[in-house]
Amino acid sequence: MALRMSTGLRNAMLAGTNSSFRQLFAGGILRLYTGNIPDSPDSAVTGSLVCAFSAGTFGTTGTAGTVSIAPNTISGTCGIAGTIGYFRFSESSDGGTASTTTSRIDGTVDKPDTVGADLTLVDTIVLKDQVLSVVSAHIGFPVS
């Protein structure tokens, strides 16, 4: 599955005034949820919040159409036990309700051997208070 960008993100980037991808997501939050991915990044979150990561900032240089989250390793502690189904990367102020103005990216989560997952974890089944680390994170735009 391909990353899905919200209407708010696409509109902000097209407006071009103080709204580069890097600026929009400075200090953004990566949240992992149980259940199925919502119908659209404009929709309210579904499932339960398992873990949240403060993504910090993005590097200043794009490489091959991608930009990396800095620092390279981000960590978070699972608030509940569960099976992670999807992620939402958004502005830090995002409350998770339906919105066509908030900048968001939704994607699927699965194990590394799963074809088409947007984010992979060693295991998608986690325990309460388990610490998860993302050791490499890159956001990219499709070639076509």
Q: Which is more confidently placed, 123 or 128?
A: 128
pLDDT value of position 26 = 78
Domain extents in the chain: 4-140
pLDDT value of position 60 = 62
Q: Give the pLDDT confidence of 16-72 residue by residue, as tens digits.
A: 766 777 777 777 888 999 999 999 999 999 999 999 988 666 666 666 666 666 666
Measured CA to CA, the distance from residue 129 to residue 138 in angstroms comes to 26
Residue 56's region, left for phi above 0, alpha for psi from -120 to 50, else beta, is: left
**Mean pLDDT of the region 74-87:** 91
Kindly write down the DSSP assignment for every residue of 12-73, as one continuous string.
HHHH-SS--HHHHTTT-EEEEEESPPPSSTTSPP-S-EEEEEE--EE-S--BTTEEEEESS-
Q: Give the pLDDT confidence of 86-127 residue by residue, as tens digits.
A: 999 898 889 999 999 999 999 888 887 777 778 878 888 999
- Amino acid found at 89: F
